[in-house]
Amino acid sequence: MKCTVCKGPAVIDVRRHNANFCADHFLKLVRDQVGKAIKDFAMLTRDDRALVAVSGGKDSLAVWDILLELGYAADGLYLGLGIGDYSDASGEMARSFASSRGLRLIEVDLPTDHGFDIPTGAKAARRVPCSACGLSKRHLFDEAARTGGYDVVVTGHNLDDEAAVLFGNVLHWQTDYLGRQLPVLPARHGFPRKVKPLVRLGEREMAAYCVLRGIDYIVEECPMADGNKHLGYKEALNAIEATSPGTKHDFYFGFLARASDRFTPDAETEQSNLGACSRCGAPTTGEVCAFCRLAERATAIPVALGREGGAR
């Protein structure tokens, strides 16, 4: 297998591009794809202060690394979700990446700072863990970006993630979500801008990028992901991609180019109903935001468990 660019020995094939790459040209491809996404969707400027949501996984560490390589100013934010050994190991990865490169990593710990963890919160709110987790992450990213004076929150969502979310939203015709499924969400109602610079790159490419750059990341999946519908959607799309390379890209970018603005009104109706949470000030459609409601129920749980324990 030869590099399509320089004819040297290739280390990876990218079927979507119908091309093979040596290490140097693959790293260049990745940076070019991120540069193109940033430019095409006006994600970042050189003056922006960016905060990268870092999970310790390949995508978030890679996007942080790539932004720095491309000359953007970016700090990291790690959220401790209290998911047992998984959180301990992922926190370690994020910390060692930051310290080995002399980068600033802000840490927020859900159990220490808010008194509950994701497994407890999900149980208390009768939500599936990923739903409690997702809303907590969104809230805490926003809060950290606002208090730290950052212009933009960067996440490591890649093409596989976005195509799977789109697939799920289409299967269930979640039109308000479809109206918001963009690689850039502008700042409004106190939310910082949110950007996804990896939308032109797949999961396999991000893993290869980390290996070639010597980035150590947490390989194991979150133990709470079992039953997560997105994993099923990803598998279904992988099966299609295997026989028709480029389908995920066409599905997602075709949606952005030709369909997404048809759903903007649905998303805007929800946005226009936003007020401020009476407890924390975060934007919400209700009186109290979903995170404050979750925190209230979750922190009530130890008392209930104590009573149960006493009765036994």
Q: Which two tokens stand for residue 153?
A: 């929150």
Shortest CB 19 distance to ligand Q46, Å: 30
Number of residues that bind ligand Q46 (CB under 6 A): 9
Which of 224/289 has CB closer to Zn ion? 289
Instruction: State how far Cα 154 lies from the chain centre.
Output: 8
Shortest CB 219 distance to ligand Q46, Å: 14
Regarding 93 and contact with ligand Q46 (CB under 6 A), the answer is no
Instruction: State how far Cα 59 lies from the chain centre.
Output: 8
Out of Zn ion, ligand Q46, none, what residue 22 binds, judged by CB under 5 to 8 A for its kind, is Zn ion
Distances (CA, A) of 70 to 124, 154, 192: 43, 14, 22
Out of Zn ion, ligand Q46, none, what residue 289 binds, judged by CB under 5 to 8 A for its kind, is Zn ion
Q: Where are the alpha helices (DSSP H) in the chain?
A: 23-40, 58-69, 84-101, 118-125, 129-148, 159-171, 175-178, 203-213, 229-243, 247-258, 264-272, 290-311
Regarding 22 and contact with Zn ion (CB under 5 A), the answer is yes
Which of 29/118 has CB closer to ligand Q46? 118
- Residue from 43, 62, 105, 118 touching ligand Q46 (CB under 6 A): that is 118
Taking CB under 6 A as the criterion, which residues in 188-227 touch ligand Q46? 222, 224-225
- Residue from 53, 144, 201, 282 touching Zn ion (CB under 5 A): that is 282
Cβ distance 57 to 225 under 8 Å?
Answer: no
Which among 78, 53, 120, 143 has a CA at the least distance from the CA of 294? Answer: 120
- Chain residues in the site for ligand Q46 (CB under 6 A): 118, 129-130, 133-134, 222, 224-225, 228
